[in-house]
Amino acid sequence: MKHLIDPTDLTKQEIDEIISLAQDIIAHRERYQGSMSHKKLATLFYEPSTRTRLSFTSAMMELGGNVLGFSDARSSSVSKGESVQDTVRVVGCFADVIAMRHHIEGAQLYATEVSTVPIINAGDGSHSHPTQTLTDLLTIQRELGHIDGITIGFCGDLRFGRTVHSLIKALSRYKDIKVILIAPDELKLPDYIKQDVCERTGIPYREVATMEEVMGELDVLYMTRVQKERFLDEDEFDRVKDSFVLDAARMSLAKKKMAVLHPLPRVNEILTEVDADPRAAYFRQVENGKFVREALIVKLLEWKDDPEHGMPADETPVEDPELRCPNKKCICNNEHAPHRFRRTENGVLRCWYCDSKVR
């Protein structure tokens, strides 16, 4: 069965198929209307969302299918203590595909172990957000006409920003990508992405302290919100926050052909004066999210029983009863998921579910 939990669950060919189907849906919307009639999508959202949940709903409606689910887990039997695995077993009796957002990292991967229908990770804590990644890839393709060869600057909260982690993983499948990381020390990209993704796959990256010094190099500027709540020291936040605000003056330093992306919501990191700039792609990006989710639903249901499109070859997990994942927000510290680990190529032991470094 094909699920989408992490961008690396898709081969480059599968990503290309989804992006190309999304483009065909945009060009010929009428051809796809009704193609999912009698199919049902369940949206299980344990965490707030505007774009992801509503774009999944809108996508399924455009395809002629139906949608059920919850936008607040407190209104479901989760409030009575029902586990993630039991919830997906039950919902699999009612729906053909499940899109799930959870604040607990690894919850969706754990759910796949018992699910009878494809599961789509619609965001798990700070870990991963693969359908935002598909949205971002489609947007870059449509804005610039290509993904290979781009220089992309990631700006803001690169530590907790799950969209950043997922997009870098996906870009590692493309040619000649250069990454520039623009973040305060407190919010730098986690080592596991730098080492296990950038260094392992040979993506050159460099870290800089200001936007100004790199604006002119970028084909894509990927903005994220600097999250005040992550700072222990408010003075420190006040010191760095304005270095990461995109305004018209900073846009004047950028190439004529470039694209500003943001997964949204924004707070104040892109001033509204930038919105009218033709390079501001973030609201077009939102609409692309609907088309790419239409394509994903179609493809996952098409691939469901096709052995050519399974999950990546199984690694054997390391099981050691003495070891514990250190991440309090990991599924294995919140439900009865086993403490399982994977050994990376550089010998580091990481949690099977959330990728936290264990040893």
Kindly list the residues in this chain that would bind ligand CP in the complex (CB under 6 A). 49-52, 123, 132, 263-265
What separation in angstroms does the CA of 346 have from each of 197, 199, 312, 343? 12, 11, 20, 8
Give the nearer residue to ligand CP in terms of CB position, either 265 or 312.
265
Q: Which is nearer to ligand CP, 152 or 215 (CB)?
A: 152
Of 184 and 263, CB closest to ligand CP: 263
Find the shortest distance in angstroms from Cβ 52 to ligand CP: 3
CB of 262 to ligand CP, least distance (A): 9
d(CA 182, CA 89): 42
Compute the least distance from the CB of residue 158 to ligand CP, in Å: 16
Query: 59, 294 in Cβ contact below 8 A?
Result: yes
- Give the integer Cα–Cα distance in Å for 190 and 205: 13
Q: Coil, strand, or helix at residue 308?
A: helix
Question: At closest approach, how far in Å is the CB of 264 from ligand CP?
Answer: 5
Residue whose CB is less far from ligand CP, 55 or 151 = 55
Least distance in Å: CB of 314 to ligand CP? Answer: 29
Cross-strand bridge partners of residue 223 = 155
CB-based contact 356:128 (threshold 8 Å):
no
Decide if 285 contacts 135 (C-beta within 8 A). yes
Q: Least Å distance between CB 269 and ligand CP?
A: 14
Q: Which is nearer to ligand CP, 92 or 130 (CB)?
A: 130
Q: Which is nearer to ligand CP, 52 or 115 (CB)?
A: 52
The DSSP string of 226-281 is --GGG-S-HHHHHHHHGGG-B-HHHHTTS-SS-EEE--S--SSSB-GGGTTSTTB-
Identify which of 52, 58, 160, 150 has the alpha carbon closest to the alpha carbon of residue 101. 52
Complex with ligand CP: residue 106 or 263, whichever CB lies closer: 263
For the CB of residue 286, give the shortest distance to ligand CP in the complex, in Å. Answer: 8
137: amino acid identity, one letter:
L
Amino acid at 346: N
